[in-house]
Structure 1
Amino acid sequence: MSVQERRAVSARRESLLGDEPGAFAVARFVRVTPMKARRVLDLVRGMGVDDALATLKFAPQAAAATVYKVVDSAAANAEGTEHLSRNDLVVVKAFVDEGPTLKRHRPRAQGRATRIDKRTSHITVVVGPREQEAKPATAKKAAEKKGRTR
């Protein structure tokens, strides 16, 4: 199956990337609360893949290990399916959706019980090529800009 055919088939890819080059990875049913996972994803959103992996490797949060795997997987998907260079990849989107909650009960005083919610997460990371820097302004544009500020 070619890349063009896969793009036509995957509605998920269409919703995340559209026609842009890039790839994504999803970790589903991860046993970490969505709030804690979002704290970690906020660290790496917008960073280059190599910088994001270095940050996650030394992040103290427990969710960092799972997010590391997802970012690494998304980068590998971009290299394998889209033939993009790992050095040019950036974490374009990163978000966490809430998964099913496991409901457990804990005995309490006087025969009562309280509910313990064990939350799960679906972590999605989208990587794409780094945007090219703007071309340097020509002398004419620079002169116009200089004239306006005075």
Structure 2
Amino acid sequence: MAKGHRSQIKRDRNETQKEERPYAKARHVRLSSSKAKIVLDQIKGKDVATAIGILRYTPRYAADVIMKVLNSAVANAEHNSGLSAANLYIQEAYATQGPTLKRIRPRAQGRAFRIEKKTSHVTVVLNERNLG
């Protein structure tokens, strides 16, 4: 049996499993995760300057959202961890499914047709490239 209240146990576990790499998340983005993954696959493993160049000229709505998340992750790395933006690269970039907004569209003969407006959570994790 574990010792302490479950909130204390969770607090201790969360402190030990804290993410050390700089990252940023955008939650509840009105964009399906499958469309976001198409753009995220293009920038995985690239350095930050190259990824920004790719996103700037990608003609998809997801590119604008991912650009904001990437800039936020770079700012987090510089401010919180004291890392240089020139040495950073995108180690992980993924989109998971968020809650779906369900809407009703009227159809013929009194029927109703469901429209699902998908949302996603976009996460970009950076790391410092070892030079040398």
TM-score of the pair, normalised by structure 1: 0.75
- Could you tell me how far apart the structure 2 residues matched to 1:109 and 1:12 are? 56
How large is the RMSD of aligned CA atoms in angstroms?
A: 2.2
Q: 1:126 to 1:27 in 2, by over 3 A?
A: same
Gaps of 5+ in 1: 1-8, 134-150
SS at match of 2:124: strand
Task: Summarize deviations over 1:17-37 as a string: whole Å, max 9, x none.
Answer: 4xxxx3000000000000000
Q: Which amino acid aligns with 2:77?
A: A
Q: Which amino acid aligns with 1:109?
A: A
- Could you tell me how far apart the structure 2 residues matched to 1:122 and 1:43 are? 18
Q: 1:117 to 1:96 in 2, by over 3 A?
A: same
The alpha-carbon deviation at position 16 of structure 1 amounts to: 4.6
Question: Which entry has the higher C-alpha Rg, 1 or 2?
Answer: 1
Q: Which residue of 1 aligns with 2:131?
A: 132
- After TM superposition, the runs of 4+ consecutive aligned structure 1 residues lying more than 3 A away are 9-17
The answer to whether the 8 A contact 1:101-1:118 is kept is yes
Task: Summarize deviations over 1:46-92 as a string: whole Å, max 9, x none.
Answer: 00011101110110111100000001100110011111110000000
The answer to whether the 8 A contact 1:16-1:126 is kept is no
**Aligned positions of 1:94-113 closer than 5 A:** 94-113=93-112
TM-score of the pair, normalised by structure 2: 0.85
Task: Summarize deviations over 1:106-146 as a string: whole Å, max 9, x none.
Answer: 1111111110000000000000101335xxxxxxxxxxxxx
Gaps of 5+ in 2: 1-11
Q: Which residue of 1 aligns with 2:37?
A: 38
Q: Which amino acid aligns with 2:105?
A: R
Q: Which residue of 2 aligns with 1:91?
A: 90
Q: 1:126 to 1:59 in 2, by over 3 A?
A: same
Q: Taking CA–CA contacts closer than 8 Å with sequence separation of 6 or more, which of the two structures ends up with the larger relative contact order?
A: 2
- Could you tell me how far apart the structure 2 residues matched to 1:65 and 1:13 are? 34
